[in-house]
Amino acid sequence: MSNNVMEGGQAIIRCLENEGVEHIFGYSGGAAIPIFDALITTETKIKFVLVRHEQGAVHMADGYARATGKPAVVLVTSGPGATNTLTGIMTAHMDSIPMIVLTGQSVSWMLGKDAFQEADIFGITMPVVKHSYLIKETNDIPRIVREAFHISTTGRPGPVLIDIPKDLSAGPCTADLHAEMDLPGYKLVDGVDKNIILQIAEALSKSKRPLILAGHGAMIAEADGSLKAFAENARIPVTNTLLGKGVFPESHELSLGMLGMHGTAYANKAICECDLLLNIGSRFDDRILGKPSEFCKNATIIHIDIDASEIGKMIQPQITCIADAKTAIDELALHVPTLETAEWCKHLDGYKTKYPLKFKRQGGLKMQHVIDEFYKLSEGKACVATDVGQHQMWAAQFYKTDRRYDWLSSGGAGTMGVGLPYCIGAAFSRPNDLHACFVGDGGFQMTFFELATAVLHKLPIKIFVLNNHYLGMVRQWQELFYEDRTSGVDLEGNPDFVKLAESFGVKGFNLRRPGDVKRVLSNALNYNDGPCLINCEVEKTDNVFPMIPAGAAIEDMLIEPPNRKLEKPTGST
């Protein structure tokens, strides 16, 4: 081809370079061969990471994006290769993670004719993407790639899918690689309404017991510095959501930690007793609300969010502000003086003393002990990924997060299997940082084959398998609400995780006794020749508290194991 003509696949790679892409996670296949070939023929600096399953690719890209705030890229083939990304795309969509998913597709003249490995991935993914494209002309590639990154990263972020028929990725492209976007219907929130900010400031000035709820939206807006300065100057306590961990330092004196179903007792007490709740970037999900009709019923509720569709969806606030979180906080800080909250803060400190996060050290090895000791040994400076379940909640409680992008966990979708690939993706994005993941024996077995990816790239990640031989969170619900009728939760037949790890070339450690925790964790921290796995044989039937039963009011929080029979919850597990 002439200097002015390149193949569609080469145009895609060049356009990704223009967007600053450094890594692509994926799995090859026939319909995507022209794009994979372009990774060689264009002599690009983009590094391709070959995974062992397409779901692993999407989760790694998700972890990469969560650890940096930058969009990540996935490349897979058509049919089952594309459909294997669906769970990961949904996970990213529910948590507002920027991502570009490139899928190979059957040749354009065979679309809709049940060609080999054809699937309507455009239609299948429609409910779980922010936007999607089916490329119909090779010369549309530069414009579409540019638009995809713009849509994925602006406003409320999310995944964007680009489906590329093989004849178009192999065909000639003569378009300008810096093509102009054409998005006449895509409007972004611009600035902030100062009159609304003045209303919020006035409400705060009248408040005696204000509380800030910091959500993932504040993280996405990189509002951590502004939030810290505002809270310190105004002397307002701060609680955060699960995905908001790190947007305000959890070791800070004004921090109440995470609230909600398994949040701290003092954060939930504060929610019940505040007279004003300033929600910045949280969508008021069901894990926070408990029983919506009882939530903050005696408080003025203020909601700042960039997505207008979230306003009033779950809770009807008294004051609403559609704006970028950082922009809103910076403007609000100009109008709010130091508030008289000394008595309120002292009252909440009393709750911290009365209801501390704790665990009993006698008996067998506990997940909390492992997490707490790693927090101390790592000085709270690790980028921590989790899977989903009991260990996730204990990690949220006991591993305090002080920096944005240091907490990687599936929130809205609650996707098992994300912990290991999240950690791998984060390690690619931040190679000089300490990376660790806490996974359950159930979730780990959904994606453990990605150990091969970690070994191949010699990633010095620390993998804690908190092994209780159960699907622990479901078992906890069955114990508390279903008269301990366990069903479908016993993971009898688990492999020897250390031998499994060693078969991949991963350094393995066994941890069984509480007295060995510090020694084994120290050895794992000192091992940096590649990934290491610590199999932690923990107590089988420990339960997570505090706990608010799904659908119950926050006031019904269980701080200790109940000594009474509980009614079946009305909300989701």
Residue 47 β-bridge partners: 23
**CATH number, domain containing residue 86:** 3.40.50.970
The verdict on 336 and 206 lying in the same domain is: yes
Q: How many structural domains are present in the chain? A: 3
Terminal-to-terminal C-alpha distance of the chain: 58
The verdict on 85 and 204 lying in the same domain is: no
Residue whose pair of structure tokens reads 């890229």 in the numeric block: 73
Q: Which residue numbers in the chain have pLDDT < 70?
A: 1-3, 564-565, 570-573
Residue that terminates a domain, selected from 173, 207, 224: 173
| pLDDT score recorded for residue 2 | 46
Residue type, 206: K
The verdict on 121 and 207 lying in the same domain is: no
Q: What is the DSSP letter of 192?
A: -
The verdict on 148 and 256 lying in the same domain is: no
**CATH number, domain containing residue 206:** 3.40.50.1220
Asked if residues 181 and 18 have their Cβ atoms less than 8 Å apart, the reply is no
Q: Provide the token pair at 443.
A: 């979730």
The verdict on 161 and 214 lying in the same domain is: no
The verdict on 430 and 288 lying in the same domain is: no
Q: Is 554 part of any domain? A: no
Residue that terminates a domain, selected from 354, 389, 412: 354
Q: What is the dihedral of CA 451, 453, 454, 456, to 10 degrees?
A: 120
The verdict on 345 and 372 lying in the same domain is: no
Q: Is 475 part of any domain? A: yes
Task: Count other Cβ atoms within 10 Å, centred on residue 25.
Answer: 31
Best CA proximity match to 75, nearest among 109, 43, 39, 119: 39
Q: Is 317 part of any domain? A: yes
Q: Provide the token pair at 302.
A: 């203020």
Q: What is the DSSP string of 493-539?
A: T---HHHHHHHHT-EEEEE--GGGHHHHHHHHHH--SS-EEEEEE--
The verdict on 342 and 373 lying in the same domain is: no
Residue 255 β-bridge partners: 238
Backbone phi, psi, residue 536, to 5°: -105, 105
DSSP strands (E only) in 334-397: 383-386
Residue whose pair of structure tokens reads 């997940």 in the numeric block: 367
Q: Is 553 part of any domain? A: no
The verdict on 440 and 482 lying in the same domain is: yes
Residue whose pair of structure tokens reads 């939530």 in the numeric block: 295
The verdict on 398 and 323 lying in the same domain is: no
The verdict on 234 and 328 lying in the same domain is: yes
- For residue 7, the surrounding DSSP H or E stretch is strand 6-7
Q: Is 184 part of any domain? A: no
Reduce the DSSP state of residue 21 to 3 states and report it: coil
| pLDDT score recorded for residue 562 | 83
Q: Is 140 part of any domain? A: yes
Q: Is 182 part of any domain? A: no
Q: What is the DSSP letter of 273?
A: H
The verdict on 258 and 112 lying in the same domain is: no
Q: What is the DSSP string of 115-174?
A: -TT---HHHHTGGG-SEEEE--SGGGHHHHHHHHHHHHHSSS--EEEEEEEHHHHHSEE-
Rounded CA-CA distance 482/565 in Å is 9
Q: Is 571 part of any domain? A: no
Catalytic positions = 54, 116-117, 166, 473
Query: What are the start-end ranges of the H helices in 183-321?
Result: 194-206, 216-220, 224-234, 265-273, 286-289
This prediction has a pTM of 0.96
Query: Which range of residues forms the domain containing residue 92?
Result: 6-173
